[in-house]
Structure 1
Amino acid sequence: MKESVRIFRFAVIGTLNALITAFVIWLMMDELSYDYIPANITAYVVAQIHNFIWSKYWIFPIENKKNNIWKQMLFFCSAFGLAYSAQFLFLVTLVE
């Protein structure tokens, strides 16, 4: 696959992730009256699940079927946990 196509796909999914996150936060806080913490956690989880699926099958498709889905999910969840922890601490610091 050409790298320009991959970069375009990456940009599309990244933009969709930002829109999904913003929409879920808006929906939960403005329409459903949740506090910012559960809204943020839910939005981040929904967007990252979306990101994992699209990245696996559209941005970085792997021809080698030996790659274990559980290993990929474990690696993704570890990266997700680290990234979300940093983002969450930053959010709480700014809000509180």
Structure 2
Amino acid sequence: MFERLKKYDKKAIGQFIRFGIVGIINTLITLIVIYFLQEILHVKYTISNFIGYIAGVVNSFFWNKLWVFKKLNSNFIREAILFLICFGICYGIQFISLLILVEILYVPDSWAQLLSMIVYTLCNFIMNRCITFKK
């Protein structure tokens, strides 16, 4: 029993590390898009946030499918739909936290983007590991 648990933990830790690496890349893509739209083009923070997350989610799907969870011979359409559903739920939670931080707690836009991103990342890993790419 302990050997099985040890193997599971090792696999989960490896997935989480790979997820973290992909997450860093996705975060950079998302933040660069948000920063460019919000700070350079002066697009409203909510619209910048949405477009930034869309850019990150496209990159995220392919890296998570092929490298993090290693689902090479699986149903692409099913996983894409589940991934988008998980993204929508996690993005909704993130967006609500962003609005609360900016509109109620008066956290500056840029800091609120970073803080709400932490919420999104945790939600996204759990949902995709347990739903989208489960074995």
**TM-score normalised according to structure 1 size:** 0.84
Q: Which amino acid aligns with 2:79?
A: Q
Aligned pair partner of 2:78 in 71, 75, 92? 71
Q: Aligned-residue CA RMSD in angstroms?
A: 1.7
CA–CA separation in structure 1 for the residues paired with 2:82 and 2:64: 13
Aligned to 1:92: 99
Distance 1:46 1:86 in 2: 18
In structure 1, the gaps of 5 or more residues are none
Indicate the percent of aligned positions where both proteins have the same amino acid: 32
Range 86-95 or range 2-11, more displaced = 2-11
Moved more, 67-76 or 8-17: 8-17
Q: Which residue matches 1:14?
A: 23
Q: Deviations over 1:19-56 (max 9, x none)?
A: 11211111001111101011000111111111111111
Counterpart in 2 of 1:59? 68
Deviates more, 1:7-16 or 1:20-29: 7-16
User: For this pair of structures, how many residues does the alignment match?
Assistant: 93
- Deviation of 1:62 after TM superposition, in Å, equals 2.5
| Deviation of 1:93 (Å) | 1.5
User: For the residues of structure 1 that align with 2:97 and 2:15, how far apart are their CA atoms?
Assistant: 30
Aligned to 1:32: 41
> What is the rounded CA distance, in whole Å, between the counterparts of 1:74 and 1:62 in structure 2?
15
Partner Cα separation in structure 2 for residue 56 and residue 90 of structure 1: 27
Instruction: Structure 2 unaligned segments of length 5 or more: list them.
Output: 1-9, 104-135
Aligned-pair distance for 1:9? 2.3
Q: Does residue 47 in structure 1 map to residue 56 in structure 2?
A: yes
